[in-house]
């Protein structure tokens, strides 16, 4: 009869011990980095080290704003660090949007009017606190027009091992289309995208950080009532490598007065389309374009 060697026995016992330790733990003990969106955190259990997450939306639908709102929530909680790698918005634009969400939707540039003294005071106080957190390396924002897997990993190492002394951070990459596919001429763009996503998944596991990768939905969604995983460009690859997929959508008539009223429609949806940790489904939200801020509709965005 075959017997397990010593190495296999140890590995099996370690696995049993780890699962045993998980039994009976509280929900909070099983949480990763909280997004600050309570319904989203309940469904996904936060962002876990070693996992690749994907967020997607139509062009101009608020992908960067969602990331900056998520960043603001984490900064308000002051429990974790964020490395924000932007390929489109500048560092100033990312920090400005984060500030607006940090101040609970106070716009830096109000539409058609000047800021009130109260708004300026709140923004100045928020900027002081956000600046302090940046100096303490809770938040680091970088702007790179072109990225490669090697450059992304270099920035993760510099932030987590260098600035944080071995600490952990949520890594946000905005967005996927600007990441180089070195072998696209040899294999084609679709296969090269698979290789890129595989590299990011392995990187998340190797560096033990959660990575949130933002990407675009294809134009076909503009003719549909709602988006699905099939609307992701190279959807099979993104679905395969992602631990969870979040689809961001604005409601029809978003930014326009609601029927028969002067109230502007801010309705939006955060749809958890894939989730290896649990259930999927829509989360009702609001997206305030003037202040680049996302909020959950039912339970807010604070702990």
CA–CA distance from 43 to each of 2, 71, 245, 295 (Å)? 43, 19, 12, 16
DSSP state of 258: P
Q: What is the mean pLDDT of residues 162-166?
A: 93
Q: Which of 34, 27, 41, 30 is nearest to 272 (CA)?
A: 41
Which pLDDT score is estimated for 42?
92
Q: How far, in whole angstroms, is CA 21 from its chain's centroid?
A: 29
Distance between CA atoms of residues 270 and 74, nearest Å: 18
Lowest mean pLDDT among 157-161, 235-239, 263-267: 235-239
Distance between CA atoms of residues 13 and 5, nearest Å: 12
150-161 tens-digit pLDDT = 999 999 999 999
Q: What is the mean pLDDT of residues 282-295?
A: 95
100-149 tens-digit pLDDT = 999 999 999 999 899 999 999 999 999 999 999 999 999 999 999 999 99
42-79 tens-digit pLDDT = 999 999 999 999 999 988 889 999 999 999 999 998 77
Domain 33-296 belongs to what architecture?
Answer: 3-Layer(aba) Sandwich (3.40)
Q: Which of 286, 254, 251, 283 is nearest to 270 (CA)?
A: 283
Q: How far, in whole angstroms, is CA 7 from its chain's centroid?
A: 38
Asked whether the bond before 175 is cis by omega within 30 degrees of 0, the reply is: yes
Where residue 303 falls among pLDDT bands split at 50, 70, 90? very low
Query: What predicted TM-score, i.e. pTM, was given to this entire model?
Result: 0.89
Domain layout of the chain by residue ranges: 33-296
* Angle made by CA atoms 40, 42, 47, in degrees to the nearest 5: 65
DSSP state of 195: H
Q: Which two tokens stand for residue 50?
A: 């070693």
């Amino acid at each position: 009869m075959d017997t397990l060697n010593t190495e296999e026995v140890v590995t099996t016992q370690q696995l049993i011990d780890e699962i045993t330790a998980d039994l009976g733990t509280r929900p909070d003990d099983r949480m990763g980095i909280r997004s600050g969106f309570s319904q989203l955190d309940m469904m996904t259990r936060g962002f876990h080290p070693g996992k690749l997450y994907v967020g997607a939306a139509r062009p101009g639908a608020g992908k960067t704003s969602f990331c900056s709102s998520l960043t603001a929530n984490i900064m308000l909680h002051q429990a974790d660090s964020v490395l924000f790698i932007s390929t489109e918005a500048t560092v100033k634009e990312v920090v400005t949007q984060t500030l607006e969400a940090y101040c609970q939707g106070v716009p830096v540039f109000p539409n058609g009017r000047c800021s009130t003294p109260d708004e300026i005071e709140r923004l100045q106080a928020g900027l002081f606190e956000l600046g302090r957190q940046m100096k303490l390396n809770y938040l680091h924002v970088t702007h790179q027009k072109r990225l490669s897997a090697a450059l992304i990993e270099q920035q993760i190492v510099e932030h987590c091992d260098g600035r944080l002394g071995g600490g952990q951070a949520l890594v946000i990459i905005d967005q996927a289309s600007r990441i180089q596919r070195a072998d696209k001429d040899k294999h084609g763009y679709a296969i090269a995208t698979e290789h890129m996503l595989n590299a990011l998944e392995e990187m998340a596991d190797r560096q033990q950080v959660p990575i949130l990768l933002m990407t675009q939905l294809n134009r076909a969604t503009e003719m549909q009532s709602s988006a699905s995983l099939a609307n992701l460009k190279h959807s099979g690859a993104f679905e395969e490598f992602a631990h969870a997929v979040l689809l961001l959508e604005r409601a029809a008539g978003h930014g326009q007065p609601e029927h028969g009223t002067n109230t502007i429609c801010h309705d939006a949806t955060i749809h958890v389309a894939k989730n290896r940790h649990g259930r999927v489904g829509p989360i009702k939200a609001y997206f305030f374009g003037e202040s680049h801020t996302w909020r959950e509709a039912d339970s807010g965005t604070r702990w």
